[in-house]
Chain A
Amino acid sequence: MKYMTTFILAVSLLMLSGCETLDMIAEGFTSAAVATGQITQAEADSIKKSSSAIGKAFDKLTPEQEYYVGRSVAATILSSYKPYDSQAANEYLNTIGQALALSSDMPETFGGWHFLIMDTDEINAFSAPGGLILISRGMLRCCKNETEVAAVLAHEIGHVQHQHGLRAIKKSRWTGALTTTLAEGAKNLGSEELAELTTAFEGSISDITSTMVNSGYARKLESEADATAIIIMKRVGYNPNGLKNMLLEMGKNLSHDKRGFAKTHPAPSDRIADIAPLLEACGPITTQIQRTARFKKTLGNI
Protein backbone atom coordinates (compact mmCIF):
# COMPACT_ATOMS: atom_id res chain seq x y z
CA MET A 1 0.00 0.00 0.00
CA LYS A 2 2.84 2.30 0.92
CA TYR A 3 4.39 1.49 -2.41
CA MET A 4 1.25 2.33 -4.29
CA THR A 5 1.01 5.67 -2.51
CA THR A 6 4.59 6.42 -3.54
CA PHE A 7 3.79 5.50 -7.11
CA ILE A 8 0.71 7.70 -7.21
CA LEU A 9 2.63 10.56 -5.62
CA ALA A 10 5.47 10.26 -8.12
CA VAL A 11 3.10 10.15 -11.07
CA SER A 12 1.06 13.06 -9.73
CA LEU A 13 4.18 15.16 -9.33
CA LEU A 14 5.23 14.33 -12.83
CA MET A 15 1.86 15.37 -14.19
CA LEU A 16 2.85 18.90 -13.30
CA SER A 17 5.58 18.80 -15.89
CA GLY A 18 5.06 19.15 -19.63
CA CYS A 19 3.61 16.60 -22.00
CA GLU A 20 6.87 15.53 -23.60
CA THR A 21 8.61 15.29 -20.25
CA LEU A 22 5.72 13.25 -18.95
CA ASP A 23 6.07 10.79 -21.81
CA MET A 24 9.79 10.54 -21.23
CA ILE A 25 9.38 10.07 -17.52
CA ALA A 26 6.73 7.41 -18.03
CA GLU A 27 9.10 5.63 -20.36
CA GLY A 28 12.07 5.75 -17.94
CA PHE A 29 9.97 5.18 -14.88
CA THR A 30 8.27 2.08 -16.21
CA SER A 31 11.48 0.69 -17.70
CA ALA A 32 13.11 0.98 -14.31
CA ALA A 33 10.16 -0.73 -12.68
CA VAL A 34 10.27 -3.58 -15.21
CA ALA A 35 14.02 -3.96 -14.75
CA THR A 36 13.69 -4.31 -11.00
CA GLY A 37 10.92 -6.86 -11.42
CA GLN A 38 8.18 -4.74 -9.90
CA ILE A 39 5.81 -4.81 -12.85
CA THR A 40 5.46 -6.85 -16.01
CA GLN A 41 6.10 -5.47 -19.49
CA ALA A 42 2.36 -5.53 -20.26
CA GLU A 43 1.62 -3.44 -17.20
CA ALA A 44 4.43 -1.10 -18.12
CA ASP A 45 2.99 -0.62 -21.61
CA SER A 46 -0.36 0.14 -20.12
CA ILE A 47 1.12 2.78 -17.81
CA LYS A 48 2.98 4.39 -20.70
CA LYS A 49 -0.18 4.47 -22.77
CA SER A 50 -2.28 6.08 -20.05
CA SER A 51 0.39 8.68 -19.24
CA SER A 52 0.34 9.73 -22.87
CA ALA A 53 -3.43 10.02 -22.73
CA ILE A 54 -3.17 12.20 -19.63
CA GLY A 55 -0.74 14.59 -21.36
CA LYS A 56 -2.39 17.41 -23.26
CA ALA A 57 -2.99 15.94 -26.68
CA PHE A 58 -3.22 19.32 -28.38
CA ASP A 59 0.39 20.03 -27.44
CA LYS A 60 1.31 17.68 -30.24
CA LEU A 61 0.02 20.15 -32.81
CA THR A 62 2.62 22.41 -34.35
CA PRO A 63 1.65 26.06 -34.95
CA GLU A 64 1.23 25.10 -38.62
CA GLN A 65 -1.31 22.39 -37.75
CA GLU A 66 -3.06 24.78 -35.34
CA TYR A 67 -3.25 27.25 -38.23
CA TYR A 68 -5.06 24.75 -40.46
CA VAL A 69 -7.50 23.92 -37.66
CA GLY A 70 -8.15 27.66 -37.18
CA ARG A 71 -8.80 28.28 -40.86
CA SER A 72 -11.46 25.62 -41.04
CA VAL A 73 -13.05 26.73 -37.75
CA ALA A 74 -13.26 30.32 -39.05
CA ALA A 75 -14.61 29.19 -42.43
CA THR A 76 -17.25 27.04 -40.71
CA ILE A 77 -18.38 29.96 -38.53
CA LEU A 78 -18.40 32.30 -41.53
CA SER A 79 -20.78 29.93 -43.29
CA SER A 80 -23.36 30.91 -40.62
CA TYR A 81 -22.35 34.55 -40.14
CA LYS A 82 -21.87 36.88 -43.08
CA PRO A 83 -18.74 39.07 -42.95
CA TYR A 84 -19.18 42.85 -42.68
CA ASP A 85 -17.51 44.09 -45.83
CA SER A 86 -16.12 47.45 -44.72
CA GLN A 87 -12.43 47.94 -45.36
CA ALA A 88 -12.12 50.94 -43.02
CA ALA A 89 -13.83 49.22 -40.10
CA ASN A 90 -11.92 45.96 -40.55
CA GLU A 91 -8.58 47.77 -40.87
CA TYR A 92 -9.28 49.76 -37.72
CA LEU A 93 -10.06 46.53 -35.88
CA ASN A 94 -6.90 44.89 -37.23
CA THR A 95 -4.72 47.81 -36.17
CA ILE A 96 -5.98 47.71 -32.57
CA GLY A 97 -5.87 43.90 -32.65
CA GLN A 98 -2.32 43.80 -33.95
CA ALA A 99 -1.08 46.16 -31.23
CA LEU A 100 -2.71 43.92 -28.60
CA ALA A 101 -1.66 40.57 -30.09
CA LEU A 102 1.97 41.67 -30.34
CA SER A 103 1.87 42.35 -26.60
CA SER A 104 0.38 38.95 -25.76
CA ASP A 105 2.49 35.96 -24.75
CA MET A 106 1.90 34.54 -28.24
CA PRO A 107 2.71 37.44 -30.54
CA GLU A 108 3.64 35.21 -33.44
CA THR A 109 1.44 32.46 -34.81
CA PHE A 110 2.01 30.52 -38.02
CA GLY A 111 -0.29 32.66 -40.17
CA GLY A 112 -0.41 35.79 -38.01
CA TRP A 113 -3.31 37.49 -36.22
CA HIS A 114 -6.28 38.66 -38.27
CA PHE A 115 -9.60 40.22 -37.28
CA LEU A 116 -12.92 40.43 -39.12
CA ILE A 117 -16.34 41.90 -38.33
CA MET A 118 -19.44 39.70 -38.71
CA ASP A 119 -22.54 41.40 -40.07
CA THR A 120 -25.03 40.49 -37.37
CA ASP A 121 -26.88 42.22 -34.52
CA GLU A 122 -26.24 39.22 -32.33
CA ILE A 123 -23.71 39.90 -29.56
CA ASN A 124 -20.98 37.42 -30.35
CA ALA A 125 -17.26 36.87 -30.94
CA PHE A 126 -15.19 33.85 -31.90
CA SER A 127 -11.50 33.16 -31.70
CA ALA A 128 -10.31 30.42 -34.02
CA PRO A 129 -7.02 28.69 -33.13
CA GLY A 130 -3.93 30.38 -34.52
CA GLY A 131 -5.40 33.88 -34.29
CA LEU A 132 -8.38 34.32 -36.64
CA ILE A 133 -10.79 36.45 -34.63
CA LEU A 134 -14.38 37.24 -35.59
CA ILE A 135 -16.37 40.00 -33.83
CA SER A 136 -20.03 40.78 -34.49
CA ARG A 137 -21.48 44.24 -35.08
CA GLY A 138 -23.74 43.57 -32.08
CA MET A 139 -20.65 43.09 -29.94
CA LEU A 140 -19.01 46.26 -31.26
CA ARG A 141 -22.18 48.17 -30.37
CA CYS A 142 -21.46 47.30 -26.72
CA CYS A 143 -18.27 49.37 -27.05
CA LYS A 144 -18.54 53.12 -26.51
CA ASN A 145 -14.90 53.91 -27.27
CA GLU A 146 -11.67 52.44 -28.66
CA THR A 147 -10.52 51.20 -25.24
CA GLU A 148 -13.64 49.04 -24.97
CA VAL A 149 -13.07 47.64 -28.47
CA ALA A 150 -9.55 46.79 -27.32
CA ALA A 151 -11.05 44.96 -24.33
CA VAL A 152 -13.20 42.75 -26.58
CA LEU A 153 -10.26 41.93 -28.85
CA ALA A 154 -7.86 41.33 -25.95
CA HIS A 155 -10.33 38.83 -24.42
CA GLU A 156 -10.46 36.88 -27.68
CA ILE A 157 -6.66 37.03 -28.00
CA GLY A 158 -6.56 35.53 -24.50
CA HIS A 159 -8.58 32.52 -25.70
CA VAL A 160 -6.16 31.94 -28.57
CA GLN A 161 -3.06 32.41 -26.41
CA HIS A 162 -4.31 29.79 -23.95
CA GLN A 163 -5.43 27.49 -26.80
CA HIS A 164 -8.93 27.19 -25.37
CA GLY A 165 -10.29 26.23 -28.79
CA LEU A 166 -7.97 23.26 -29.10
CA ARG A 167 -8.93 22.13 -25.61
CA ALA A 168 -12.47 21.62 -26.87
CA ILE A 169 -11.32 18.78 -29.11
CA LYS A 170 -12.58 15.53 -27.61
CA LYS A 171 -9.87 13.24 -26.27
CA SER A 172 -11.30 10.38 -28.31
CA ARG A 173 -10.10 12.10 -31.50
CA TRP A 174 -6.52 11.68 -30.38
CA THR A 175 -6.12 7.97 -30.55
CA GLY A 176 -4.04 5.38 -32.31
CA ALA A 177 -2.61 6.23 -35.67
CA LEU A 178 -3.68 9.85 -35.50
CA THR A 179 -1.49 10.65 -32.50
CA THR A 180 1.44 8.92 -34.17
CA THR A 181 0.90 10.73 -37.44
CA LEU A 182 0.53 14.11 -35.79
CA ALA A 183 3.67 13.54 -33.77
CA GLU A 184 5.63 13.12 -37.01
CA GLY A 185 5.39 9.46 -38.00
CA ALA A 186 7.84 7.80 -40.33
CA LYS A 187 5.75 7.42 -43.48
CA ASN A 188 4.56 9.77 -46.14
CA LEU A 189 0.88 10.56 -46.13
CA GLY A 190 -0.92 7.76 -47.98
CA SER A 191 -4.56 7.98 -49.07
CA GLU A 192 -5.73 5.88 -46.12
CA GLU A 193 -3.84 8.07 -43.66
CA LEU A 194 -5.19 11.18 -45.35
CA ALA A 195 -8.75 9.87 -45.02
CA GLU A 196 -8.19 9.01 -41.35
CA LEU A 197 -6.62 12.39 -40.65
CA THR A 198 -9.44 14.19 -42.44
CA THR A 199 -12.02 12.36 -40.31
CA ALA A 200 -10.17 13.38 -37.15
CA PHE A 201 -9.81 16.91 -38.55
CA GLU A 202 -13.54 17.20 -39.31
CA GLY A 203 -14.34 15.89 -35.83
CA SER A 204 -11.97 18.40 -34.27
CA ILE A 205 -13.47 21.32 -36.22
CA SER A 206 -16.93 20.21 -35.17
CA ASP A 207 -15.89 19.90 -31.48
CA ILE A 208 -14.42 23.41 -31.49
CA THR A 209 -17.21 25.16 -33.39
CA SER A 210 -19.99 23.51 -31.42
CA THR A 211 -18.28 24.53 -28.18
CA MET A 212 -17.89 28.10 -29.42
CA VAL A 213 -21.38 28.40 -30.90
CA ASN A 214 -23.50 26.29 -28.54
CA SER A 215 -22.07 25.38 -25.17
CA GLY A 216 -19.33 27.95 -24.57
CA TYR A 217 -16.18 27.49 -22.51
CA ALA A 218 -16.14 26.86 -18.77
CA ARG A 219 -16.31 29.96 -16.56
CA LYS A 220 -12.73 29.26 -15.47
CA LEU A 221 -11.52 29.65 -19.07
CA GLU A 222 -13.54 32.84 -19.59
CA SER A 223 -11.99 34.19 -16.41
CA GLU A 224 -8.54 33.27 -17.70
CA ALA A 225 -9.24 35.10 -20.99
CA ASP A 226 -10.46 38.18 -19.06
CA ALA A 227 -7.40 38.19 -16.79
CA THR A 228 -5.14 37.87 -19.84
CA ALA A 229 -7.05 40.70 -21.55
CA ILE A 230 -6.26 42.95 -18.59
CA ILE A 231 -2.54 42.10 -18.75
CA ILE A 232 -2.40 42.70 -22.51
CA MET A 233 -4.29 46.01 -22.27
CA LYS A 234 -1.89 47.25 -19.60
CA ARG A 235 1.12 46.29 -21.70
CA VAL A 236 -0.18 48.23 -24.70
CA GLY A 237 -1.45 51.18 -22.73
CA TYR A 238 -5.23 50.79 -22.89
CA ASN A 239 -6.99 51.23 -19.55
CA PRO A 240 -8.27 47.76 -18.49
CA ASN A 241 -11.35 49.38 -16.98
CA GLY A 242 -12.52 49.34 -20.59
CA LEU A 243 -13.30 45.66 -20.09
CA LYS A 244 -15.53 46.38 -17.10
CA ASN A 245 -17.32 49.23 -18.90
CA MET A 246 -17.89 47.08 -21.97
CA LEU A 247 -19.28 44.26 -19.79
CA LEU A 248 -21.68 46.68 -18.09
CA GLU A 249 -22.99 47.82 -21.47
CA MET A 250 -23.15 44.23 -22.69
CA GLY A 251 -25.18 43.31 -19.63
CA LYS A 252 -27.80 45.90 -20.64
CA ASN A 253 -27.85 44.83 -24.29
CA LEU A 254 -27.94 41.12 -23.49
CA SER A 255 -31.20 41.51 -21.62
CA HIS A 256 -32.86 41.85 -25.04
CA ASP A 257 -30.78 39.19 -26.80
CA LYS A 258 -30.74 35.57 -25.73
CA ARG A 259 -28.48 34.43 -28.56
CA GLY A 260 -24.68 34.34 -28.73
CA PHE A 261 -22.93 35.50 -25.60
CA ALA A 262 -26.06 35.16 -23.48
CA LYS A 263 -25.92 31.43 -24.25
CA THR A 264 -22.18 30.77 -24.25
CA HIS A 265 -20.68 33.11 -21.67
CA PRO A 266 -21.01 33.67 -17.93
CA ALA A 267 -23.28 36.62 -17.10
CA PRO A 268 -21.41 39.95 -17.50
CA SER A 269 -22.03 40.63 -13.79
CA ASP A 270 -20.18 37.40 -12.89
CA ARG A 271 -17.30 38.33 -15.16
CA ILE A 272 -17.14 41.81 -13.61
CA ALA A 273 -17.02 40.22 -10.14
CA ASP A 274 -14.20 37.92 -11.25
CA ILE A 275 -12.03 40.73 -12.63
CA ALA A 276 -12.75 43.29 -9.89
CA PRO A 277 -9.60 42.48 -7.85
CA LEU A 278 -7.45 42.93 -10.96
CA LEU A 279 -8.80 46.42 -11.66
CA GLU A 280 -8.31 47.97 -8.23
CA ALA A 281 -5.31 50.11 -9.20
CA CYS A 282 -6.76 51.25 -12.55
CA GLY A 283 -8.28 54.69 -12.70
CA PRO A 284 -11.15 55.88 -14.91
CA ILE A 285 -10.73 55.98 -18.69
CA THR A 286 -9.55 59.37 -19.86
CA THR A 287 -10.73 60.63 -23.23
CA GLN A 288 -8.27 61.48 -25.95
CA ILE A 289 -9.40 63.55 -28.92
CA GLN A 290 -7.78 61.55 -31.74
CA ARG A 291 -8.87 58.20 -30.31
CA THR A 292 -12.44 59.38 -29.87
CA ALA A 293 -12.47 60.85 -33.39
CA ARG A 294 -11.23 57.74 -35.15
CA PHE A 295 -13.54 55.47 -33.15
CA LYS A 296 -16.59 57.61 -34.01
CA LYS A 297 -15.58 57.87 -37.64
CA THR A 298 -15.01 54.16 -38.13
CA LEU A 299 -17.34 52.37 -35.72
CA GLY A 300 -19.68 55.14 -34.61
CA ASN A 301 -22.53 53.81 -36.73
CA ILE A 302 -21.67 50.11 -36.74
Chain B
Amino acid sequence: MNHITTGAGAPSRRTYAIYLAVTLLLATTTVLPAKEKSMSIQVRQGQLRSAPSYLSRVTENLKYASRVTILEEKGTWLRVRPAESTKEGWMHTSALTKKKLKLSAGEANASTTVSSEEQALAGKGFNSDVEAKFKENNAEIDFSWVDKMEKIKIKTSTLIKFLEQGDIKPSAEDAQ
Protein backbone atom coordinates (compact mmCIF):
# COMPACT_ATOMS: atom_id res chain seq x y z
CA MET B 1 0.00 0.00 0.00
CA ASN B 2 2.91 2.38 0.74
CA HIS B 3 3.93 2.35 -2.90
CA ILE B 4 0.69 3.97 -3.87
CA THR B 5 1.65 7.12 -2.04
CA THR B 6 5.02 7.54 -3.76
CA GLY B 7 4.21 8.14 -7.45
CA ALA B 8 4.97 11.25 -9.52
CA GLY B 9 2.67 14.29 -9.63
CA ALA B 10 0.70 16.26 -7.06
CA PRO B 11 -1.52 14.20 -4.73
CA SER B 12 -4.57 16.33 -5.47
CA ARG B 13 -4.31 15.63 -9.20
CA ARG B 14 -3.89 11.94 -8.56
CA THR B 15 -6.88 11.93 -6.26
CA TYR B 16 -8.91 13.72 -8.88
CA ALA B 17 -7.86 11.23 -11.56
CA ILE B 18 -8.94 8.32 -9.39
CA TYR B 19 -12.28 9.87 -8.52
CA LEU B 20 -12.91 10.66 -12.14
CA ALA B 21 -12.08 7.11 -13.22
CA VAL B 22 -14.30 5.65 -10.53
CA THR B 23 -17.19 8.02 -11.21
CA LEU B 24 -17.08 7.35 -14.92
CA LEU B 25 -17.04 3.60 -14.33
CA LEU B 26 -19.93 3.79 -11.90
CA ALA B 27 -21.90 5.88 -14.38
CA THR B 28 -21.25 3.33 -17.11
CA THR B 29 -22.23 0.35 -14.98
CA THR B 30 -25.48 1.91 -13.83
CA VAL B 31 -26.56 2.85 -17.34
CA LEU B 32 -25.87 -0.55 -18.92
CA PRO B 33 -28.75 -2.62 -17.46
CA ALA B 34 -31.36 -0.21 -18.79
CA LYS B 35 -30.20 -0.97 -22.33
CA GLU B 36 -30.51 -4.73 -21.83
CA LYS B 37 -33.81 -5.81 -23.24
CA SER B 38 -33.08 -9.50 -23.58
CA MET B 39 -32.62 -12.09 -20.81
CA SER B 40 -31.99 -15.84 -20.42
CA ILE B 41 -34.09 -18.40 -18.58
CA GLN B 42 -32.00 -19.63 -15.65
CA VAL B 43 -34.34 -22.28 -14.26
CA ARG B 44 -34.75 -25.81 -15.61
CA GLN B 45 -38.25 -25.09 -16.83
CA GLY B 46 -39.30 -21.52 -17.47
CA GLN B 47 -43.04 -20.90 -17.24
CA LEU B 48 -44.79 -18.24 -19.23
CA ARG B 49 -47.96 -17.12 -17.43
CA SER B 50 -51.12 -15.32 -18.47
CA ALA B 51 -50.83 -12.72 -15.68
CA PRO B 52 -48.14 -11.46 -13.27
CA SER B 53 -49.03 -13.98 -10.53
CA TYR B 54 -48.17 -17.57 -9.66
CA LEU B 55 -51.86 -18.27 -9.36
CA SER B 56 -52.35 -17.46 -13.05
CA ARG B 57 -52.39 -20.01 -15.88
CA VAL B 58 -49.15 -21.35 -17.41
CA THR B 59 -49.44 -20.68 -21.14
CA GLU B 60 -46.11 -22.11 -22.26
CA ASN B 61 -43.05 -23.91 -20.91
CA LEU B 62 -39.71 -22.48 -21.95
CA LYS B 63 -36.32 -24.16 -22.11
CA TYR B 64 -33.33 -23.44 -19.89
CA ALA B 65 -30.93 -20.88 -21.41
CA SER B 66 -33.42 -19.75 -24.07
CA ARG B 67 -33.77 -16.00 -24.54
CA VAL B 68 -36.73 -13.71 -24.01
CA THR B 69 -37.27 -10.07 -24.95
CA ILE B 70 -38.46 -7.82 -22.14
CA LEU B 71 -41.54 -5.81 -23.03
CA GLU B 72 -42.78 -4.47 -19.71
CA GLU B 73 -41.91 -4.46 -16.03
CA LYS B 74 -44.45 -4.71 -13.21
CA GLY B 75 -42.95 -5.06 -9.75
CA THR B 76 -40.99 -8.31 -9.70
CA TRP B 77 -42.72 -9.56 -12.87
CA LEU B 78 -41.76 -9.03 -16.49
CA ARG B 79 -43.88 -9.28 -19.61
CA VAL B 80 -41.75 -11.08 -22.14
CA ARG B 81 -41.72 -12.48 -25.66
CA PRO B 82 -39.73 -15.71 -26.02
CA ALA B 83 -37.25 -15.87 -28.90
CA GLU B 84 -38.61 -19.30 -29.82
CA SER B 85 -42.26 -18.25 -29.93
CA THR B 86 -44.54 -15.36 -30.77
CA LYS B 87 -46.66 -15.72 -27.65
CA GLU B 88 -46.21 -13.10 -24.98
CA GLY B 89 -46.59 -13.72 -21.29
CA TRP B 90 -45.37 -12.97 -17.77
CA MET B 91 -42.33 -14.35 -15.97
CA HIS B 92 -40.93 -13.65 -12.50
CA THR B 93 -37.53 -11.93 -12.43
CA SER B 94 -36.03 -14.77 -10.37
CA ALA B 95 -36.39 -17.10 -13.38
CA LEU B 96 -34.31 -14.79 -15.56
CA THR B 97 -30.74 -13.55 -15.80
CA LYS B 98 -28.95 -11.01 -17.95
CA LYS B 99 -26.17 -13.56 -18.50
CA LYS B 100 -26.05 -15.68 -21.60
CA LEU B 101 -26.21 -19.25 -20.34
CA LYS B 102 -24.65 -22.31 -21.89
CA LEU B 103 -26.39 -25.64 -21.93
CA SER B 104 -24.64 -28.58 -20.35
CA ALA B 105 -23.37 -31.08 -22.90
CA GLY B 106 -25.95 -33.71 -23.69
CA GLU B 107 -28.97 -31.60 -22.76
CA ALA B 108 -31.96 -32.64 -24.85
CA ASN B 109 -32.50 -29.25 -26.40
CA ALA B 110 -28.82 -28.40 -26.89
CA SER B 111 -28.89 -28.61 -30.68
CA THR B 112 -31.96 -26.48 -31.13
CA THR B 113 -31.02 -23.45 -29.11
CA VAL B 114 -27.26 -23.05 -29.32
CA SER B 115 -24.66 -23.26 -32.05
CA SER B 116 -22.11 -26.07 -32.09
CA GLU B 117 -19.46 -23.61 -30.93
CA GLU B 118 -21.56 -22.74 -27.89
CA GLN B 119 -22.10 -26.42 -27.21
CA ALA B 120 -18.36 -26.92 -27.04
CA LEU B 121 -18.25 -24.26 -24.36
CA ALA B 122 -20.96 -25.95 -22.36
CA GLY B 123 -20.59 -28.26 -19.41
CA LYS B 124 -18.42 -26.25 -17.06
CA GLY B 125 -18.84 -25.59 -13.39
CA PHE B 126 -20.71 -27.74 -10.88
CA ASN B 127 -22.87 -29.85 -13.17
CA SER B 128 -24.14 -33.38 -13.71
CA ASP B 129 -20.58 -34.57 -14.58
CA VAL B 130 -19.28 -33.28 -11.25
CA GLU B 131 -22.23 -34.88 -9.45
CA ALA B 132 -21.52 -38.19 -11.21
CA LYS B 133 -17.88 -38.02 -10.09
CA PHE B 134 -19.00 -37.10 -6.56
CA LYS B 135 -21.28 -40.16 -6.51
CA GLU B 136 -18.42 -42.33 -7.75
CA ASN B 137 -16.16 -41.08 -4.94
CA ASN B 138 -18.89 -41.30 -2.28
CA ALA B 139 -20.78 -44.49 -3.02
CA GLU B 140 -22.32 -44.49 0.48
CA ILE B 141 -24.30 -41.33 -0.27
CA ASP B 142 -27.67 -42.27 -1.70
CA PHE B 143 -29.40 -39.79 -4.02
CA SER B 144 -32.61 -41.79 -4.50
CA TRP B 145 -34.66 -39.75 -2.01
CA VAL B 146 -33.34 -36.49 -3.41
CA ASP B 147 -34.57 -37.61 -6.84
CA LYS B 148 -37.85 -38.67 -5.25
CA MET B 149 -38.44 -35.40 -3.39
CA GLU B 150 -37.72 -33.44 -6.57
CA LYS B 151 -40.62 -35.26 -8.19
CA ILE B 152 -43.12 -33.94 -5.65
CA LYS B 153 -45.00 -31.26 -7.55
CA ILE B 154 -47.96 -29.23 -6.38
CA LYS B 155 -50.32 -28.09 -9.12
CA THR B 156 -51.43 -24.46 -9.22
CA SER B 157 -55.07 -25.59 -8.99
CA THR B 158 -54.27 -27.64 -5.85
CA LEU B 159 -52.52 -24.65 -4.32
CA ILE B 160 -55.41 -22.29 -5.03
CA LYS B 161 -57.89 -24.77 -3.51
CA PHE B 162 -55.65 -25.26 -0.46
CA LEU B 163 -55.41 -21.52 0.19
CA GLU B 164 -59.14 -20.96 -0.39
CA GLN B 165 -60.25 -23.81 1.86
CA GLY B 166 -57.91 -22.67 4.62
CA ASP B 167 -59.06 -19.07 4.15
CA ILE B 168 -55.44 -18.02 3.77
CA LYS B 169 -55.10 -14.60 2.21
CA PRO B 170 -52.83 -11.69 2.92
CA SER B 171 -54.21 -8.59 4.54
CA ALA B 172 -54.33 -5.75 2.00
CA GLU B 173 -51.15 -4.07 3.26
CA ASP B 174 -49.08 -7.27 3.14
CA ALA B 175 -50.20 -8.43 -0.30
CA GLN B 176 -47.67 -8.55 -3.08
Contacts and interface: CB of A to CB of B under 8 A. Distances in A.
Interface of A: 1-4, 6-7, 10, 14, 17, 21, 24-25, 28-29, 31-33, 36-40, 43, 61-65, 67-69, 71-72, 74-76, 78-79, 83, 90-91, 94-95, 98-99, 102-103, 105-112, 114-116, 132, 146, 181-182, 184-186, 188-189, 193-195, 197-198, 201-202, 205, 234-238, 288, 290-291, 294
A4 B5 contact: yes
B120 A72 contact: no
B127 A198 contact: no
Contacts of B83: none
B24 to A, nearest CB: 8
B22 A14 contact: yes
B166 A62 contact: no
14 contacts: A2-B11, A2-B15, A4-B5, A33-B17, A63-B42, A65-B125, A68-B127, A68-B128, A68-B131, A71-B131, A99-B163, A114-B149, A290-B166, A291-B167
Instruction: Tell which of B54, B129, B145, B146 has the most Cβ of chain A within 10 Å.
Output: B146
Given A36-B9, A76-B141, A238-B168, A64 B18 contact: no
Contact of B4 (A4, A116, A291, A294): A4
B3 A95 contact: no
Given A69-B126, A95-B159, A184-B124, A290 B18 contact: no
Contacts of A64: 42, 44, 64, 101, 104, 125, 127
Interface residues of B, number: 76
Contacts, number: 234
B156 to A, nearest CB: 9
Contacts of B168: 99, 236-238, 291
Given A78-B145, A107-B54, A236-B170, A61 B126 contact: yes
Given A79-B140, A198-B130, 14 more contacts: A6-B19, A24-B29, A62-B97, A62-B101, A63-B97, A95-B158, A99-B162, A109-B94, A182-B124, A189-B124, A197-B130, A201-B133, A202-B138, A291-B168
B102 interface: yes
A43 B8 CA distance: 16
Given A38-B4, A75-B143, A146-B166, A25 B25 contact: yes
Given A10-B22, A75-B142, A197-B125, A98 B159 contact: yes
A103 B131 CA distance: 30
A3 B4 contact: yes
A99 B42 contact: no
Given A111-B44, A181-B124, A94 B152 contact: yes
Contacts of B22: 10, 14, 25, 28-29
B71 interface: no
A39 B7 contact: yes
A4 to B, nearest CB: 5
A15 B163 CA distance: 43
Contacts of A63: 42-43, 97
Contacts of B170: 234-237
B92 A107 contact: yes
B169 to A, nearest CB: 5
B44 A110 contact: yes
B108 interface: no
Interface string B108-121: 00000000000011
Contacts of B122: 188
B34 interface: no
B14 interface: yes
A294 B168 CA distance: 14
B176 interface: yes
Contacts of B95: 108
A114 B150 contact: yes
Contacts of B36: none
Nearest to B1: A4
A6 B126 contact: no
Contacts of A107: 54, 92, 94
Contacts of B150: 111-112, 114, 132
B166 A294 contact: yes
A72 B145 CA distance: 11
A25 B7 contact: no
